[in-house]
Structure 1
């Protein structure tokens, strides 16, 4: 018995359909019960023998190409290490009981590699679907032609399934790389002075939906910090790369610019030189504990929320301008200031937290305000978890979500 009590030899023999294992020199290493039965051969007539000695092309038919096509497919798998799905093949199989007599058969093969530790192909999985019954006529030549078309359509459907699976795997790999890139560029921030903050990033569900959301917290001169979030349009690895460029640029601009509006103006000018940065949204805030004020400016981004100690929520929407690159000419961006008291909480987020299809954005904002009010006594870490739990869909969101919570 193998590990975990599974008898893989028995599993292989019980596999439905014709499955054979071939060595790199195309000899049968093993066959399952269906392969032996449906091919009309015993295991002794297969295992250890060269595939095309057992099933050669019909020497009496110059148009017979099934064996040659199969050989080409198997060589491709050995050379590339990639699975190969063949079109419907006609084989003339010689009768074991009546040598010299050949029976017309139709098989639909798939060949896949088994790779060893060194990356080389050590075995070939040769799976065959017997479709002769679909080809044989039911009522004369016209019926035969119909069955051939049915079998061809069936084979094409299987080929599309193979292509879709390869695309899915490629997208999954891209998603992994994009997530790794985002994690590298969105590390957990260190302490922001003596103030308490929590950050969260939740990727979208699905291999194609990794997006370009980001957050940033920076220490500024005096008892001040800059807090920003942004969202790049698009999905996948490219969006994640653009996100990294814009996040770094805004982080640098916020350290030297005279306020959030100027920082976003600098970011907008830089975004013009970055392909894919058009229509990015972002909001920049500057929290000043000496004056107990928050200065903010938004480039088309959902408004930050200010949770008061009494449970009321104010959305900071008095300095909103179009997204980056939305205007052909440079125009100064607006900036607004609001006062806060000790114990208030500033919440920045991306649209994945509040937006839902076929729902007005005000509904999402109201849902956020209600959640913040009910959990206002929680420390930032627990408040962040509670908001995400209540606002994100149970099965996962179709858009990324970034969330920053700062206790003032």
Structure 2
């Protein structure tokens, strides 16, 4: 059959399950007849409406989380460009015949991106399987195989629902602990003798307020010198944050007594071998000497710092790059390099969440960062940090953690 002869409107209506098309703003652009029937709402009450205006959470149930779960899934699709299959969700729906009364419903949603010519997501195919009836066993007669199978499905679904409730409770407890843990591990900005510094910290979308990225600022002995470091532990949440805290503390201590950044990373690399969860952790550290106007640096598998000169020239500090902290069972001395700067230059350290995107070469992200820093280099560090995050992070939040340090030299 030739492609031109396919009636795609008919195909859309024949797709299995309830199917809706959502815009990137999460507005219902179209719905099939099954969606109209399953939702119990006429088409004109659906199309053109913000999906969570039509389907809000049940205000009478404090445990209701259907809208939050769906919103997180849709934002993941927009941020990653990948299909997101959700677990069975309880998503109560207000009765159209009895306003104020809510019906307990269970849905199995899948959200799939549709891309435009420019590669951006232009629509989300939101497909739902209605499984509510499978979870209702009361009022049915008979003890045949279908009834037994239905009872098994019901029991399994209730088990999953109870597991989800426990996970939500555990997640809520983690959220109570997370702010205090972040404040203890990563203060807003460690006090130093050098005041023209801005730091920013952004956990991945949907993560807790702690993550595996870190930064550190250290006043070094011997002259007017400052140590600036950032690092990245694989993973998110409290587990990654605990590993992050150990490595950050180790690097902070090593920087105070090391001859240079390479030696500091050598020490932390040896330590990383005995820290569970530190596999593939990366870090970069710089020693800034304000008396000699030099930056000495060394990197353990981390994206290169950026030195933005007063005249707009952007220099990536990539001449001393080595494998991640725990990469060598028998460590060898790491490389170290030195570059000069004029007063008024800006040093920027960051983690890969700022520049890496799925299906995109990292050089594209580095170029985007260099362009933003060049255009806004005259702004003060606080404003510059905010602008860089605004221009480089996706509007809905990044899928990886991000740490950023801006130092006016």
Q: Calculate the TM-score normalised by the size of structure 1.
A: 0.64
Query: 2:157 matched to which residue of 1?
Result: 157
Whether the aligned pair in 1 keeps the contact of 2:207 and 2:236 (CA below 8 Å) is no
Return the alpha-carbon distance in structure 2 between the equivalents of residues 182 and 328 of structure 1: 31
Measured at CA, do residues 191 and 237 of structure 1 come closer, stay the same or move farther in structure 2, by a change above 3 Å? Answer: closer
Displacement after TM superposition at 1:328 (Å):
1.6
1:136, CA displacement in angstroms? 2.0
In structure 1, list runs of 5 or more residues that go unmatched. 1-13, 17-107, 109-128
Q: 1:343 to 1:239 in 2, by over 3 A?
A: same
Question: What is the Cα deviation at residue 173 of structure 1?
Answer: 2.6
2:303 aligned with 1:302: yes
Equivalent residues, number: 278
Equivalent in the alignment of 2:217: 217
Q: Distance in 2 between matches of 1:334 and 1:146?
A: 69
CA offset at residue 271 of structure 1? 1.6
Cα pair distance change 1:237/1:376, threshold 3 Å = same
For residues 52-76 of structure 1, the C-alpha deviation after alignment (integer angstroms, 9 at most, x for no partner) is xxxxxxxxxxxxxxxxxxxxxxxxx
For residue 400 of structure 1, report the CA deviation from its aligned partner: 1.3
Q: Please tell me whether the aligned partners of residues 175 and 237 of structure 1 are also in contact (alpha carbons under 8 angstroms).
A: no
Q: Deviations over 1:151-208 (max 9, x none)?
A: 4313422331221232233234335434431221111235532440001111122247
Structure 1 residues 108-127: aligned runs within 5 Å: none
Note closer, same or farther for the CA distance 1:384–1:152 as it changes in structure 2 (3 Å cut). same
Q: 1 CA distance for matches of 2:294 and 2:157?
A: 63
Q: 1:192 corresponds to which residue? A: 192
Contact 2:214 2:230 in 1 (8 A): yes
**How far is the alpha carbon of 1:287 from its aligned partner?**
0.5
| 1:5-404 pair list within 5 angstroms | 131-133=137-139, 135-136=140-141, 144-207=144-207, 210-220=210-220, 221-404=222-405
SS in structure 1 at match of 2:239: helix
* d(CA) in 2 for partners of 1:191, 1:183: 14
Q: Partners in 2 of 1:217 and 1:384 — Cα distance?
A: 16
Return the alpha-carbon distance in structure 2 between the equivalents of residues 345 and 208 of structure 1: 31
Q: Distance in 2 between the 1:177 and 1:242 partners?
A: 16
Asked if structure 2 preserves the Cα contact closer than 8 Å seen for 1:209 and 1:398, the reply is no
Task: Give the distance between the partners of 1:301 and 1:175, measured in 2 at CA.
Answer: 29
Looking at structure 1, the residues matched to 357 and 263 of structure 2 have their Cα atoms a distance apart, in angstroms, of: 32
- CA spacing shift, 1:289–1:259, aligned 2, 3 Å: same
Mapped partners of 1:208, 1:324: distance in 2 = 25
CA drift of 1:308 comes to 1.5
CA contact (8 A) 2:194 2:226 kept: no
User: In the aligned structure 1, how far is the partner of 2:356 from the partner of 2:302?
Assistant: 12
Distance 1:198 1:260 in 2: 21
Question: Secondary structure at 2:235's aligned position in 1?
Answer: coil
Relative distance call for 1:159 and 1:191 in structure 2 (3 A) is closer
Q: Secondary structure at the match of 1:182?
A: helix
Deviation of residue 15 (structure 1)? Answer: 7.9
How much has 1:290 moved relative to structure 2?
1.1
For residues 293 and 373 of structure 2, the distance between their equivalents in structure 1, rounded to whole angstroms, comes to 21
176-185 vs 334-343, greater mean Cα deviation? 176-185
Match of 2:122 in 1: none
Contact 1:297 1:334 in 2 (8 A): yes
Computing the radius of gyration from Cα coordinates, the structure with the larger value is 1
Question: TM-score if structure 2 supplies the norm length?
Answer: 0.64
Per the TM alignment, residue 264 of structure 1 is displaced from its structure 2 partner at its CA by: 0.5
**Offset, 1:281:** 0.3
CA distance, structure 1, for counterparts of residue 393 and residue 306 of structure 2: 17
